[in-house]
């Protein structure tokens, strides 16, 4: 027995030695930020210096050039390289190395919109003649590439590509720059070195190693931003109308950073860096990878660099709602976009044998057909409890053909893709599917392009239908009612849209705005069916998708429109225009509703509100923020000197301690006031500065909503402007009257005869520390 134990101990020790050896020799990708001002004079360029740094820490028998994946020089200074943990540790101590960021994987946050947003109104419709008089905007879309044959990317009527544009189209499988780029698609590049380093070589027989979009997501987002008008667009006859982007006259540059296995930070960073060099005006980034400190997030650092160069950056907020504190992409220098509904839906109906009927949503047009006049057997294989049962999720290989053949099957939502469940039902012999929401989804309904007759219903309706299906000889049928517009109430904040507060900076209210992100029709790839399921052989030119991935390009496109009208405005001014003109009431004139709770939403759900492009073109006042002021915001977070170097650009930015007393003094278009756990601190004063972009001579009067927990005083109460671009400051003092257990929300508005400049206000009282 002793010998056996001794043998096991020896084996375990050998295993640990082997494990540690493998771990110490395994190479991973690291993004290395360099201080370019520290380059020794012996080097003639930074890239040689970067390479020598890698050469100084790798083994003699290794080649440092083979370790380097990317060099960065525009939005970010440094490189990406393959290193072991020990090598990374040594390199991090070298002079001139500012920071190391381990490779991070990001995920995608998966045309009635223009009409719903008022972009068809005469004062904002931009025809060819008027567009030629505007600034020529280029929008960079970081995504899965582009399908150039889509009619959304037709360049008919476009003038010459602006001379300032430095971008290019890269040749690759099924992508010929001479044929596939034009005056609309002015750039198309691929970034895959980080992806291949992490996952292995791309299988070029299965995936386009070129700008061509196989997934469809990138074409959809690009079409939403700036798609050319296409008459009679639809998905299988649903959502029929004119499909067009938010600003159709913008040019598109596609940067393919996402592949079958995900999107990697070194590739994303290289794309941002290249896009800034190419000369984009707007970056649309519909992906996310969790939240980490600004100083440890390579995307935050890169977008800071883009902002310094005058590039507006729009990012999706994430699809982790309705959980609080679920936001991604929360840096104050980017626009964080949540999702809301349109006033359009795709209704369908479930009629039970008992005579009861229930409303749902669906997109279906196929060979399998259910007669609305006939009833069919219906079955639910779950336990009829309020929580999902493994037998009811309709996962691959779980359905017994003997129990489901010839029947409508009720499937609980969760674990697997919604449309995939229908395919499982179809393969098992089922003739239809009722997709029931669970508590995690509540009553929010998202339409999918199904492969068999199927309908999605809310949790309440689903529970009733499931109870009925437990009866002997239960029957049902499904009918499809096409497209319906004028839905009330709308917009509604989508349940899946990620929520605040902003855990990194409570003083910066996020998300910034919400925009249409549910059931959005836009361009699609010719390589994948509308359901995204491999068995789907259908091919369509347009598809309907939902997610903050869809809401983000709406904001990117409207930002492009504002940039075209106001080319000298900074990214912060454009975001201010979007935020202060957003609305917080739906088309029934009631407060915006949260789909998750069916109660009024708060600024932690909708930010400043729902975008209003018409008003954003003429906001009256804007809250501008310079790169130095954003840097002062970072200074107020008590960073280490090393952390400050990450954003200081080799000493070009320095702390002047202007916000040392209150990070809330960042000139943000929203006010978030945080009372500390120290009850003796009962009064907080914050300052804002507005720039007049409306009438040169004008006066704005302040109005603020009352709060239960605090008295609010605005000084001065009136702002008198005498010229265009004049800046005036004001202070707002919040004095606690009664500490509240939950946050309070309201708004501060500056109003003249024409404009209403509204900022959301959130008050939070941190609980006393024990």
d(CA 385, CA 733): 52
d(CA 303, CA 275): 11
* Active-site annotation holder among 77, 113, 136, 143: 143
Phi, psi (rounded to 5 degrees) for 66? -75, -15
Tokens of 764: 């939070």
Assess whether 213 carries a catalytic annotation: no
DSSP letter assigned to residue 105? E
Helix (H) or strand (E) run with residue 7 in it: helix 2-25
Antiparallel, parallel or unpaired: β 727-736 and 683-692: antiparallel
d(CA 137, CA 715): 39
Phi, psi (rounded to 5 degrees) for 288? -160, 165
Phi-psi region of 355 (alpha: psi -120 to 50; beta: other; left: phi over 0): left
d(CA 317, CA 549): 8
d(CA 496, CA 200): 33
* Active-site annotation holder among 77, 109, 180, 217: 217
Q: Please check whether residue 548 is in contact with residue 286, taking contact to mean a CB–CB distance below 8 angstroms.
A: yes
Nearest-5° Cα angle at 492, 490 to 493: 160
d(CA 254, CA 584): 33
Helix (H) or strand (E) run with residue 223 in it: helix 217-226
Phi, psi (rounded to 5 degrees) for 484? -125, 135
DSSP assignment of 565-583 equals H-TT--HHHHHHHHHHT-B
* Active-site annotation holder among 549, 570, 601, 698: 549
What is the torsional sign of CA 284, 614, 567, 177?
positive
Measured CA distances, 228 to 217, 224, 249, 489, 614 (Å) = 17, 10, 7, 30, 20
Assess whether 143 carries a catalytic annotation: yes
d(CA 459, CA 443): 6
Closest CA to 592 of 511, 489, 670: 489
d(CA 59, CA 66): 12
Phi, psi (rounded to 5 degrees) for 242? -95, 120
Measured CA distances, 329 to 319, 332, 354, 765 (Å) = 12, 9, 49, 25
Measured CA distances, 253 to 170, 275, 282, 660 (Å) = 11, 8, 10, 40
d(CA 385, CA 467): 9
Whether the bond into 479 is cis, omega within 30 of 0: no
- Residues assigned a catalytic role: 143, 217, 549
């Amino acid at each position: 027995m002793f010998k056996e134990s001794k043998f096991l101990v020896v084996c375990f020790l050998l295993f640990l030695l082997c494990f540690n050896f493998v771990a110490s020799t395994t190479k991973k990708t690291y993004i290395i930020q360099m201080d370019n001002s520290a380059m020794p004079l012996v080097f003639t360029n930074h890239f040689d210096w970067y390479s020598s740094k890698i050469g100084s820490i790798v083994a003699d028998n290794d080649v440092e050039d083979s370790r380097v994946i990317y060099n960065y020089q525009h939005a970010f200074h440094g490189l990406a390289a393959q290193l072991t943990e020990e090598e990374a540790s040594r390199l991090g101590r070298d002079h001139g190395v500012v920071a190391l960021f381990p490779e991070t994987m990001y995920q995608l946050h998966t045309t009635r919109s223009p009409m719903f947003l008022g972009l068809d109104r005469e004062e904002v419709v931009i025809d060819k003649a008027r567009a030629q008089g505007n600034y020529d905007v280029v929008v960079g879309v970081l995504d899965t590439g582009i399908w150039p044959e889509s009619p959304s990317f037709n360049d008919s009527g476009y003038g010459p590509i602006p001379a300032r544009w430095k971008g290019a189209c890269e040749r690759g499988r099924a992508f010929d720059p001479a044929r596939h780029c034009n005056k609309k698609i002015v750039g198309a590049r691929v970034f895959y070195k980080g992806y291949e380093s992490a996952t292995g070589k791309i299988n070029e027989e299965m995936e386009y190693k070129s700008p061509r979009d196989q997934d469809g997501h990138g074409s959809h987002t690009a079409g939403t931003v700036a798609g050319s008008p296409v008459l009679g667009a639809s998905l299988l006859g649903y959502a029929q109308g004119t499909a067009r982007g938010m600003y159709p006259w913008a040019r598109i540059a596609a940067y393919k950073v996402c592949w079958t296995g995900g999107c990697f930070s070194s590739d994303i960073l290289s794309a941002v860096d290249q896009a800034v060099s190419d000369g984009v005006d707007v970056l649309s980034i519909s992906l996310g990878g969790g939240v980490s400190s600004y100083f440890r997030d390579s995307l935050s650092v890169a977008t800071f660099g883009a902002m310094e160069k005058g590039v507006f950056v729009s990012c999706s907020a994430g699809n982790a709602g309705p959980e609080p504190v679920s936001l991604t992409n929360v840096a104050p220098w980017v626009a964080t976009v949540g999702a809301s509904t349109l006033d359009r839906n795709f209704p369908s109906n479930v009629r039970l044998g008992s005579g009861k009927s229930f409303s749902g949503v669906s997109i279906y047009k196929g060979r399998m057909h259910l007669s609305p006049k006939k009833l069919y057997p219906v079955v639910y294989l779950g336990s009829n409890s309020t929580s999902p049962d493994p037998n009811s999720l309709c996962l691959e290989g779980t359905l017994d053909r003997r129990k489901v053949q010839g029947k409508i099957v009720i499937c609980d939502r969760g674990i697997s893709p919604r449309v995939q469940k229908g395919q499982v039902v179809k393969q098992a012999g089922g003739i239809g599917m009722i997709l029931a929401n669970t508590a995690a989804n509540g009553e929010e309904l998202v339409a999918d392009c199904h492969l068999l007759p199927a309908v999605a219903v809310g949790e309440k309706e689903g529970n009733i239908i499931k109870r009925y299906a437990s009866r002997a000889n239960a029957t049902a049928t499904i009918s499809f009612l096409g497209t319906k517009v004028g839905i009330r109430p709308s917009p509604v904040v989508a349940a899946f849209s990620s929520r605040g507060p902003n855990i990194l900076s409570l003083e910066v209210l996020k998300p910034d705005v919400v925009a249409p992100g549910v059931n959005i029709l836009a361009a699609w790839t010719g390589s994948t069916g509308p359901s995204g399921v491999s068995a789907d052989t259908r091919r369509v030119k347009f598809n309907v998708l939902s997610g903050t991935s869809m809401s983000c390009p709406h904001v990117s496109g409207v930002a492009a429109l504002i940039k075209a009208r106001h080319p000298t405005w900074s990214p912060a001014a454009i975001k201010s225009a979007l935020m202060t003109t957003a609305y917080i009431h739906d088309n029934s004139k009631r407060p915006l509703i949260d789909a998750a709770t069916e109660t009024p939403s708060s600024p932690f759900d909708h930010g400043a509100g729902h975008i209003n492009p018409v008003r954003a073109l003429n906001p009256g006042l804007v809250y501008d923020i310079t790169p130095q002021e954003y840097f002062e915001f970072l200074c107020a977070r008590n960073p280490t000197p090393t952390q400050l170097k990450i954003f200081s650009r080799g000493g070009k930015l320095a702390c002047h301690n202007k916000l040392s007393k209150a990070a809330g003094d960042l000139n943000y278009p929203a006010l978030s006031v945080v009372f500390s756990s120290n009850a003796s601190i009962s009064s907080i004063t914050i300052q804002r500065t507005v720039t007049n972009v409306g009438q040169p001579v004008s006066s704005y009067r302040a109005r603020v909503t009352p709060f239960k927990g605090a008295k609010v005083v605005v000084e001065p109460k009136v702002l008198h402007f005498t010229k265009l671009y004049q800046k005036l400051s004001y202070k707002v003092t919040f004095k606690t009257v009664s500490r509240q257990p939950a946050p309070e929300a309201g708004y501060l508005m500056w109003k003249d005869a024409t404009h209403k400049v509204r900022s959301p206000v959130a008050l939070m009282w941190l609980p006393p520390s024990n």
